Structure 1
Amino acid sequence: MDGFSKRFHGIVTMVTALVSLLILSACDHDFYKTGDSDLSYLHTDFVEARTNSASAFISARTDDGAQLTLQPALKTPWATKGDTVYRALLHYNKVEKGVTEPVGISPVAVLHIRLSIDLPQVPADPVTFESAWVSRNRKYLNLGLKLKTGQSSGARAVQSLGIVCNSVRRQPDGGRTFYLQLYHQQNGVPEYYSTRVFASIPLADLKEKDSIVLDINSYKGKVRKRIAF
């Protein structure tokens, strides 16, 4: 068993709290403006953003490899750990000599791959699939999804997301194909309206000639995406 397979063991990672933050953030902020508003000229990038000891964001590296210094530092309710790197979607103004003014930052769920072997079942409640792409630095497979959500009169429920691996197959060229499935549990959350969320799957353990087959249960049926490296 290689190092990748050893790290597969364990149950699926469920980012329930982060999914809640993603939904709240999407409801509170809409940076995708058009026309001549101030927001129409913003830059928007997926980043790895770092906080200082006071849990405020002070720098970010984009998926294109640009290193940004954020001035002033940006404090958010959802980033609570100091000296930590977060996966996020950053909205910022013009960059001058590597320094920029941040306008807003939203959390991106990081879904680490786990084996499905120990799970009695893999919940696959439907989502709306929008897009899947490998980041330019090839560190992440990014997903654009819409989750149906709403408020109920009962106890607050939170949806769960994760990625599980159902099998790995060796190919004649020596590469490996990982058959993945999106884990999604609605957890009783009402389905009144749709909210866009983004998630990133780390690809550090994948090598040249490896590939991914990802299955997503959507409201329109199963979506299968094939990604080669």
Structure 2
Amino acid sequence: MKRHLRLKTDFPLFRFLPERWTACLFLIGCLCCTACGDDEEDGYAYPSLLTEFVEVYTDAKGNGTQFVTDNGKIYAINSPIQGLQPDAAYRLVCGYEVTADYQEGHPVAKIYTVETVNLLKQKEEPSDTDDPLAVASIWNGGNYLNLHLMPKTQGGTQEWGYRTDSTRSSHTGTIYHLSLYHRQPGDPYSYSTTVYASLPLLPLGLQEGDSIAFTILTFDGRKTWRFGF
């Protein structure tokens, strides 16, 4: 697996999927669902899918050949994703089925659905500029805080990131008070949509005993989730 060790953060180089690939992956997912629906009518049992945040890694030719789950499990992709940047990593949410095959010592997985993930970068704007949203879930994925969010939209552009509001150290560890940066200027609250996001934890340099208090402006006011490490 190729990682960009030259980065000072020891964090792999992540790229967002280009718009043409987002559309292609959506079409692939629709075709898979249609095919599976037809199969069910013929008595075929739809495969049991696992849906997880993963890192998809590409080879020197820009083919997505492997992905790694947040718990460190490595899978080979049965049909490599083509047309991506070479020697890069993409943060995605994948619905996949584990097959009985192995490739180079790793189990082979068949990917059925793919969703893009917003990698949250640090912002400096004050919290009074935030727009509210709904939170489906937020959890510690090991090297990330993973977020399943449901903002309202009319199809416009929304901005994402996080802030370090403050830190407080004690004899038990450091508490990092972070908050979600979310703005949607010019995008009315018309209907709910699904957004996946990940906050990389490695750059924070967390030590045993540290904790994170992560605050989000929801439609019911600001709410805080706490995670210990």
Q: Structures share a fold, TM > 0.5?
A: yes
Give the match's secondary structure for 2:76.
strand
Q: Is the 1:139–1:202 Cα contact (8 Å) retained in structure 2?
A: yes
Q: Is the 1:163–1:181 Cα contact (8 Å) retained in structure 2?
A: yes
Which of 47, 50, 69 is residue 43 of structure 1 equivalent to?
50
Counterpart amino acid of residue 108 in structure 1: V
The answer to which structure, 1 or 2, has the higher relative contact order (CA under 8 A, 6+ apart) is 1
Counterpart amino acid of residue 131 in structure 2: D
In structure 2, list runs of 5 or more residues that go unmatched: 1-8, 10-14
Q: Is the 1:25–1:106 Cα contact (8 Å) retained in structure 2?
A: no
Distance 1:122 1:162, change over 3 A: farther
- How do 1:82-97 residues align onto structure 2 when only pairs under 5 Å count? 82-96=86-100, 97=102
Matched residue, 2:212: 212
Q: Is the 2:139–2:147 Cα contact (8 Å) retained in structure 1?
A: yes
In structure 2, what is the Cα distance between the partners aligned to 1:207 and 1:110?
22
Superposition deviation, residue 75 in structure 1: 3.5
In structure 2, what is the Cα distance between the partners aligned to 1:128 and 1:24?
25
Alignment RMSD, CA only? 3.4
Which of 58, 64, 73 is residue 66 of structure 1 equivalent to?
73
Distance 1:27 1:160, change over 3 A: farther
Q: C-alpha deviations, 1:36-77, integer Å up to 9, x for none?
A: 68656222221111123443311001112211111211247x
In structure 2, what is the Cα distance between the partners aligned to 1:206 and 1:115?
19
Give the match's secondary structure for 1:125.
coil
Matched, 1:101 2:107: no
Distance 1:57 1:39, change over 3 A: farther
Distance 1:94 1:27, change over 3 A: closer
Q: Is the 1:129–1:144 Cα contact (8 Å) retained in structure 2?
A: yes
Distance 1:195 1:120, change over 3 A: closer
In structure 2, what is the Cα distance between the partners aligned to 1:25 and 1:107?
12
Give the match's secondary structure for 1:93.
strand
Counterpart amino acid of residue 129 in structure 1: V
Q: Is the 1:115–1:166 Cα contact (8 Å) retained in structure 2?
A: no
Superposition deviation, residue 213 in structure 1: 0.8
In structure 2, what is the Cα distance between the partners aligned to 1:194 and 1:27?
18
- The percent identity for this pair of structures is 30
Aligned length: 201
The answer to which of 119-128 and 208-217 deviates more is 119-128
Distance 1:212 1:134, change over 3 A: same
In structure 1, what is the Cα distance between the partners aligned to 2:88 and 2:189?
34
In structure 1, list runs of 5 or more residues that go unmatched: 1-6, 8-14, 152-156
Q: Is the 2:123–2:181 Cα contact (8 Å) retained in structure 1?
A: no
In structure 1, what is the Cα distance between the partners aligned to 2:23 and 2:149?
15
Superposition deviation, residue 27 in structure 1: 7.7
- How do 1:140-155 residues align onto structure 2 when only pairs under 5 Å count? 140-151=144-155
TM-score where L is the length of structure 2: 0.74
In structure 2, what is the Cα distance between the partners aligned to 1:123 and 1:150?
19
Counterpart amino acid of residue 160 in structure 1: E
In structure 1, what is the Cα distance between the partners aligned to 2:188 and 2:25?
17
Q: Is the 2:152–2:193 Cα contact (8 Å) retained in structure 1?
A: yes
Q: Is the 2:154–2:191 Cα contact (8 Å) retained in structure 1?
A: yes
TM-score where L is the length of structure 1: 0.74
In structure 2, what is the Cα distance between the partners aligned to 1:26 and 1:145?
20
Distance 1:172 1:147, change over 3 A: same
In structure 1, what is the Cα distance between the partners aligned to 2:128 and 2:59?
38
Superposition deviation, residue 128 in structure 1: 0.7
Q: Is the 2:127–2:181 Cα contact (8 Å) retained in structure 1?
A: no
